[in-house]
Structure formats: C-alpha cells, structure tokens
Amino acid sequence: MTALLRKEERALLYYVAAYLAVGVLTLYLGEPELNTAYDLALASGTTLPFWWFVMFLSMGTMAAFISISVYWRLAGFKCDPYLMPITAALTASGLVFLFRLRPEYAERQFAWLLIGLLALVVITTILRNLDWLAEYKYLYVAAGVLLLILPVFFGQEQYGARSWLNIGVFQLQTSEFVKILLVLFLASFLAENRRMLSAASNEILWVNIPAIREWGPLAAMWGISLVILVFQKDLGTALIYFSTFLAMVYAATARMFYIITGLGLFLLGGTAAYHLYGHVQARVDIWLDPWPLMGGSGYQIVQSLFALGSGGLFGSGLGQGIPSLIPAVHTDFIFSAIGEELGLLGACAVIILYMCFVFRGLMIALAAKDDFTALLATGITSLMCLQTFIIIAGVIKLLPLTGVTLPFISYGGSSLVANFILLGLLLNISHEVNGQ
C-alpha cells in the first residue's frame, strides 16, 4: 500500500516540476528585460548569479519534495498521496511569482522552504503517534501566551502591527506558531469535553448552555489570545484565531448557540477596535470606499482592483503585467499579481488547489480514529481555509484588509514554516487512517 501511495504522489510531483519549469522558462527566457531587473536585485543583496539562481532554486525545490516522497516510501509512511503535490503546486506558484516580482525574496523564500520541509520530515518521523499530544493542553496555553507576550515588549512594529521579533539575521512572527498551539489546545480540550459542551446543564433566557466550569477554560484561552493580539494591533491574526475557534467548537458540538454568540462577540469587538485603533478605522474606511483615498491610504487596494480588472479572463501573460505598482505585492497582495497576469482562470485555479487541500483535510478528519485526531484535522483544515479566504477576500475588497499571508504562496518565512508543521500533523493523521 505504501508503495502505491508514494508512486501516485511522485507522479503528481513530476507534473508540478514541469509546471515550475514552464513558469521559470516563460519568465526568464522569453523576457530578457527581466534579466536586467534581476541584475538590479543582485546589486541589492541577492548572492547567486542569474542562471545559477534560477536553476538552483527551481530544481532544488522539486528535488526536495521528491526526495521527501522517496524517504516516506522507504520509511513506510502511509500518508495521503494528494496533500504533498497540492502543497508543492502552491509553493511552486509562489516561487514563480516571487521570481517575477522580487527575485531577491525568492532566494530567501527558498531558504525558509528548506527549513519548512525539514520541519515536515521531523514531524512525520517522530510524531506519527499523536495520542500523547492530547495530554498537554494547558502547556499549549502557557506557551501560546508567552509567544504572544514577547512581541508586545520586545517586538518591532510593521504595517501597524507589533508582531515581529528581531532575532539577529531574521525576523520571527510568533503569532504564526501560536496558531499551531491554538489548534492543539482546542482539539485536546474539545475532545475531552465535547459531550458536556453539547449537552445543556443550565438555562439562561430560555437558552440551554453548559456550566461555566465546562466552557470557562476554553473561553479564557480564547480571551487571553485576543486581548494580547489587540495590544499587538495584529487584528488580522486575531480574526483567524477567532474564526478557527468558532469552526472547531461547532465541529465538536454542532450547536448554533456558540456560533451566534461568537458572531455577536465579534461584532462588539470589531466595533470597539474600530473606535480604539486608528489603523483599524482606516482599513474599514478604505474597505467601504477606497476611491477618495486612492492618493494615500487607499492606493494599495485601488491598484489591486485595477490589476484584477486588467487581467480579464486569461490575464496579461506571465511577466507582461505591472503588478509592481501595488505596494507589498509579494506578501499581502500576491493574489492580485496572479489575477493580473494569469487572469480569472489562473486565479480560480489557485483557489481550486486550496479547495482540494480543504477537501482532503476534511476527508481525513471524517476517517480519523478518535475525537482528538478528528478535531485536530478539522482545526488544521479550517485554519488553512479561513486564512486563505480572509486574505483573498481582503485583496478583492470583499472584507477589510487584514495583512495576513496567502498560505504557501506569499513571501513570509514564519508563515511558511508554521504551515509545513501543520501539514505534517495532518499527514500523520492520514497515516493513522490508512494504517487502520
């Protein structure tokens, strides 16, 4: 069985390798002027000569993914054969557009990618049995609070959020790793208390709710996380945490009471944040009507809308657009660049890849052997789905901008490594499912 799973996985990875090769050749062989752009980037800090840069990063990326598949075959790892190719396709898309937009950032992203893949190998090697993780739920709370507190006192503020720790040669966004601890805590707590949370032991205003001793620790952990994130002013990450919290609670209890109450709290918290924080108010104002502000704070979203509109159905062609007009296009707005140069069809293809990831994740959750792993798989999948939705919705002006990254595609080392850790946990659950 292991051999068949890995054979199917490698066959799909070869298609991804071909896709990456075509993307790189389209950019750099077909557009000589991009070589000049790269030479300018080379002078500003990129360390590899042009052709070695392109070849090393492209071939190295796919060699790393295929090597992991071969290792899993030798180690008898029976994980889902589709999640790795889906992730590789998303990662390859990110590298192609980083080559296009910021070649020097593509080099850094490749370094973070290797760290993320190493973390994936470690997770899928030493944590194949996840049962013991359910025993340390309050340790996850303590570690999560610590990681959130550190940037408040020692962090650097960027784009209105104080979420980054400067550690020598690189910066670390601790909130990206807290989301792993959040999912682990919620999965372990909900698996232990789902029956009590689903049942009704008290009645308030004709609504049956559990006793406070049953949902108190859950609400306390959620509240502490949101309060600290408010001090960091990183409300985009707070929204992801909050949405994941609601999704997992509903998956565990199937009670709409928690969703309705949570949405009410969200409206109250959002209203308070709007009046307390200027950058939140600015983002809401930009969301409602960016056109009067297009010469200032609304410039970014207006340029994103222009880029998406100019892309049309088929796009302007890879390397033929002008996405560089969008500030921070390689991080928050990389989806706009995809929509401009690959068109609606290319943007929908990326969304379909995320939908396939979510589908496989939910299938793994449904087949999980116990409540903890089922909720853990649900939480990881919900987190990935919600983060993708929130950033794409912000880029197309469906929601206010939040400043979070597009998983596996946007530039961001902390996000990339954290997502590969989550992928490793999900693959471990699928290994248990296929080994039953």
Give pLDDT tens digits for 351-378: 999 999 999 999 999 999 899 999 999 9
> What integer best gives the mean pLDDT of the chain?
83
Please tell me the predicted confidence (pLDDT) of residue 40.
47
pLDDT of residue 123: 95
Q: Which helix (H) or strand (E) holds 84?
A: helix 83-101
Q: How far apart are CA 396 and CA 414, in angstroms?
A: 25
pLDDT beyond 60 at 205: no
Residue 325 has pLDDT above 70, yes or no: yes
pLDDT, residue 341, reads: 93
Helix axes 2-28, 50-75, angle to 10 degrees: 170
pLDDT the model gives residue 436? 60
Q: Residue 370 in contact with residue 228, Cβ under 8 Å?
A: no
Average pLDDT over residues 200-208: 55
State whether the Cα torsion 289-292-298-304 is positive or negative.
positive
**CA–CA dist 413, 354 (Å, integer):** 20
What is the CB neighbour count within 10 angstroms for residue 311?
25
Of residues 106 and 170, more confidently modeled: 106
pLDDT computed for residue 48 by the predictor: 45
Distance CA 184, CA 182 (A): 5
Residue 86 has pLDDT above 70, yes or no: yes
Whether 364 contacts 433, CB under 8 Å: yes
In 10 A of CB 3, how many CB atoms? 9
Number of H helices, E strands in the chain: 15, 5
Residues 47-55 have a mean pLDDT of 59
pLDDT in tens, 100-148: 888 888 888 998 999 999 999 999 999 888 888 988 888 998 888 888 8
Segments making up each domain of the chain, as ranges: 131-276
Q: Is 63 exposed, middle or buried (0-12, 13-18, 19+ CB in 10 A)?
A: exposed
HSE value, Cβ hemisphere, 13 Å, CA-based, for 356: 17
**Residues 209-248: pLDDT tens digits?**
665 555 666 666 666 666 666 666 666 777 888 888 889 9
pTM here?
A: 0.90
Name the H helices within 312-333: none
Residue 158 has pLDDT above 70, yes or no: no
- % pLDDT > 70, the chain: 81
Q: Which of 49, 33, 53, 44 is nearest to 99 (CA)?
A: 53
Q: How far is CA 377 from CA 92, 166, 247, 257, 383, in A?
A: 24, 32, 12, 23, 10
DSSP 201-265: -EEETTEEE--HHHHHHHHHHHHHHHHHHHHHT-HHHHHHHHHHHHHHHHHHH--HHHHHHHHHH
pLDDT computed for residue 37 by the predictor: 46
H-state helical runs in 127-211: 137-154, 175-198
Distance, in Å, from the CA atom of 361 to the CA atom of 181, rounded to the nearest integer, reads 18
Say if residue 355 is exposed, middle or buried (CB neighbours under 10 Å; 0-12, 13-18, 19+). middle
Query: Do the Cβ atoms of 214 and 279 come closer than 8 Å?
Result: no
Which conformational region is residue 321 in: left (phi greater than 0), alpha (psi within -120 to 50 degrees), or beta? beta
Instruction: Report the alpha-carbon angle 132-134-137, nearest 5.
Output: 125
Confidence of residue 344 (pLDDT cuts 50, 70, 90): very high
**Is-contact 344 67, C-beta < 8 A?**
no
Residue 13, pLDDT > 90, answer: yes
* CA 366 – CA 344 distance, rounded (Å): 32
